[in-house]
Every structure is written in structure tokens, then in C-alpha cells.
Amino acid sequence: MSHDLSQAGRKTQTIHAGQYPDATTGALSPPIYQSSTFAFTDCAQGAARFAGTEGGYIYTRMGNPTTARLEEAIATLEGGTGAVTTSSGMGALCAVIFGLLGSGDHVVGHSSLYGPSRMVIEADFKRFGVESTFVDTSDLDQVRAAVRPNTRLILIETPANPTIVLSDIKALAAIAEEQGAWLLVDNTFASPVNQRPLALGAHIVMHSMTKFINGHTDVVAGVVVAKDAELLAKIAHAHHYLGVNMDPHQAWLVLRGLKTLSLRMRESERNAQRVAEFLEQHPKVAWVRYPGLKSHPQHALAKAQMDGFGGLISFEVKGGLEAGARLLDHVQLMTLAVSLGGIETLIQHPGSMTHAAIPREERLEAGISDGLVRVSIGCEDVEDLLADLKQALQQV
Ligand SMILES: *Cc1c(COP(=O)(O)O)cnc(C)c1O
């Protein structure tokens, strides 16, 4: 175990939490324990590990020394009692719902969640009797109106995907507490460098570590962090039986990516601010949404609950879908691809891609207009990103 880093700065935590020399060899890079099972010295030890009276490892689906380091790192960054790593962000969400909810329970979710997150609740968990209502959680009155006596979970993303709308974590935690429900924050867009929901009253945080935390567009991964141990135990139990565990090699790659999270986020948001300002004054752009712009309706909330504004921008080119498609077909440096939070800039069209499975009416209601373009700004030289957008906009 490393020394206590709970009060250390963000950069220190990303570099040192879960990262310490291997006890036997001194190796600075964590060993990859690529083993499915772990030998017991005798029968009594095996029994004690299964009974939970002795620590140590049993079988990698239930825990592994390499994934444990990553769990320690993310729990430290988010300020939770512990974490469970998962094979993907969707695995993290499914472990929470499978672990905490049952037939007759109700979820209130943000209307513009990551597309598959909404779909799995609305279509799949529904088959197991989990009810759900999706509203604009940036409007607290809509949340109060949606909450029922059987509401057990409020699920938000802030900033939300792809509308970049913010929700007030502190206020929503209070509504959840009043109802005896849990607030789950999908913190993928902000990352723990910019936002720590548990400190603001949330009960559970999840990430798609595929995005900013890993940051190199080479791993799919997820994690859940809980504020209290009892809650974490319920989620870990579900995780062990669902089989959404992380592979040790995957954990090693994410541990490596995590070390530069602070640096990448700072660079990416410095670039994003410049790109957002450029788009905002461009005559062919109808609107731009970025939390760092004074024109963002929740700029004040962003300053209050975030330490930085992140790398995601959404905007619409005048002329809607057709004009947006022309822009996407003409970018040269930016890559037309889904996903986000990588070191390279990615641009995509949610209406026809990530959010296409949601009926158009519901999409429009959630603020995802037909022409909305989402861009995840990377760490390239900002002049090159601006030049690319400039030339692509000339083609529109
Ligand atoms: C990508 C993403 C997910 C799903 O994560 P996977 O790692 O792709 O399973 C969930 N929430 C948000 C906000 C995401 O961006």
C-alpha cells in the first residue's frame, strides 16, 4: 500500500495513487498478475479467504492484485471508500443497477444520458420490472415531479452527453436523500480531476475509463466508486456474479494512462476554450455549448462545482444536419469517430451515430437537435485544430 494520498493534490494523486514499487522486486511499473486463480497454502487458508476472515486473492473475477491498484487509485481520486473496476463503462452501470435495484424500483434519469445507458434501463432492466422516468435533471422541479415513493436511484451525467447541460449535484443529492434514494453520477465527461461528486453529496460515481481516465483510445474500461462500504459491497457482489470484471492487462494500461490525466485534461480544456470561442464568433455557426463560455446558461454552476471545463464542445452549423454532415466530411486533422476523452480530437454526429437508437421525438426533447455536432478536443496544437475547422467550415 502507498502512503495516505487522500489530501494530496490532483496531479500527485493521478501519478502516485495505487502506484508504488513492487514489494518483492522493487519494479516501479506495477506487475501484471496475469493469473485467473491464486494458490492457497493450505485448506484452512482457502476456507478463510472464502469466509472473508482473511484478505488475499481467490479468483480474478472476484479480484486481482493489478486491478486492485487501479481500484485504489480511482477510489483515492474520487474520495470513496473503495472501487470496483469493470470491463467497460456499461459494465459499471449494469453492476450498480443489478446490485441495488429490483422489480418495482424506480429510476429517475437525465434525459440526455449516454445513449446505451438510457437504453439498457428503459428497455432491458424494464424486463426485470425496473421502472424509469427520464427528465431534464438541470431543472430541479422536473426531478421533484418525477420522483415517486419507489424511486431508489437518481442517475445523472454532468456535463451531459452530448448536450453539455449541467446538473446541480449538491441539490440533486439533497432530493435523493429526502426520498431515501441514491444519487449516481456518471463522471466520465468531467473526470475526477475536474469534479468530485461524492464530496458534493452523491452516493455513487461511475466512469467509462475508456474516455479521459485512460485517455489513449486503446482500452474499453469502467469503474464504480461508492461513498460507503455497505453500498460498495452490494455492488461488488453483483459485479462478481455478472462477470463484468476487468482484465489485469487492461488495468495496467489504464494505470499508465491515468498518470497523465491531469496534464491531458488541462491541455485539452485550454484548447477547447479557444476552439469554443472561435466557433462562437464564426458566422456559419448557429450556437456553441461549452461550460467555459460566458454564454453557457450554467457557466456559474460550472465554476461552482467543477475545477475545469473539460474537453467536450457541442455546436450546430447553420443549415442543420446537411451542413453539419458537410463539415464532418471535410475535417482533415480531426477524426470522424465516436468516443471521447482521448489525446486526439474526435468529432461525431450524435443524431445519426451515438444517439440514433433513441426515437427522434425523444432526442429533440432531450435537446439533441438534428444538426448537433459533438467534438472532443484533444491535446494537439490549437492553431492546427482551428485551421482544420476553418477550412472545413469553408466547405459548408
Ligand atoms: C462511453 C460512455 C459510457 C459507456 O462506457 P463504455 O466504456 O463504452 O462501456 C457511459 N457513460 C458515458 C458518459 C460515456 O461517455
Work out the number of other CB atoms within 10 angstroms of the CB of residue 53: 8
How far is the C-alpha of 96 from the C-alpha of 232, rounded, in Å? 9
Rounded to the nearest 5 degrees, what angle is found at the Cα of 63, between the Cα atoms of 28 and 13?
45
pLDDT digits (tens, 9 = 90+) for 197-211: 999 999 999 999 999
Whole-number Å distance between alpha carbons of 170 and 305: 9
Is the sign of the CA dihedral 199, 201, 203, 208 positive or negative? negative
**Shortest-distance Cα residue to atom 7 of ligand 1:** 89
**Annotation marks residue 211 as catalytic:** yes
Ligand 1: distance of its center to the CA of 206 in Å?
9
Q: Which atom of ligand 1 is nearest to the CA of 220?
A: 7
pLDDT above 80 (res 212): yes
Per-residue DSSP letters for 68-115?
Answer: HHHHHHHHHHHT-SEEEEESSHHHHHHHHHHHH--TT-EEEEETT--H
Residue 90 Cα to ligand 1 midpoint, Å, equals: 6
pLDDT digits (tens, 9 = 90+) for 36-64: 999 999 999 999 999 999 999 999 999 99
- Rounded to whole angstroms, the Cα distance separating 182 from 106 reads 11
Spatial distance between the Cα atoms of 205 and 93, rounded to a whole number of angstroms: 10
326 is catalytic: no
Q: Taking 90 as the threshold, does the pLDDT of residue 1 lie above it?
A: no
Out of 186, 227, 247, 363, pick the active-site residue: 186
Instruction: Compute the distance from residue 213 Cα to the ligand 1 centre, in Å.
Output: 12
Q: Is the dihedral of CA 340, 342, 348, 354 positive or negative?
A: negative
Q: What is the CATH number of domain 262-394?
A: 3.90.1150.10
Looking at every residue in the chain, the average pLDDT score rounds to: 95
For 198, other C-beta atoms within 10 Å of its C-beta total 24
Q: What was the pLDDT predicted at 354?
A: 79
Give me the percent of the chain exceeding a pLDDT of 90. Answer: 89
Is position 186 annotated as part of the catalytic site? Answer: yes
Q: What is the mean pLDDT of residues 15-30?
A: 95
Q: 208 CA distance to ligand 1 centroid (A)?
A: 4
Give the residues across from 285 on adjacent strands.
317
Q: What is the mean pLDDT of residues 254-281?
A: 98
| 167 φ, ψ (degrees, to nearest 5) | -120, 145
pLDDT of residue 351: 80
Q: Is the pLDDT of residue 138 over 80?
A: yes
* pLDDT on residue 35: 97
User: What mean pLDDT comes out for the span 74-96?
Assistant: 98
Report the pLDDT value the prediction gives residue 238, as an integer from 0 to 100: 96
Tell me which architecture the domain covering 10-258 has in CATH: 3-Layer(aba) Sandwich (3.40)
Report the Cα–Cα distance between both ends of the chain, in Å, rounded.
56
HSE (side-chain half, CA atoms, 13 Å) at 160 = 25
Which pLDDT score is estimated for 112? 86
What is the per-residue pLDDT across 97-119, written as a single tens digit (0 to 9) for each?
999 999 999 999 999 889 899 99
**Has residue 139 got a pLDDT over 80?**
yes
User: Which is higher by pLDDT, 19 or 354?
Assistant: 19
Cβ atoms of residues 350 and 360 within 8 Å: no
CA separation (Å) from 33 to 24, 37, 311?
Answer: 14, 10, 34
In this model, does residue 388 exceed pLDDT 80?
yes
Q: What integer pLDDT is reported at residue 183 of this predicted model?
A: 98
**According to the model, what pLDDT value does residue 2 have?**
56
Output the CA torsion 302→306→307→312 (10° steps): -70
* pLDDT at position 127 over 90: yes
Please report the pLDDT score of residue 149 as a whole number: 97
Query: What residue ranges do the domains of the chain occupy?
Result: 10-258, 262-394
Residue type, 34: Q
Residues with CB under 6 A from ligand 1: 88-90, 114, 117, 157, 161, 186, 188-189, 208, 210-211, 220, 222
pLDDT at residue 363, rounded to an integer? 84
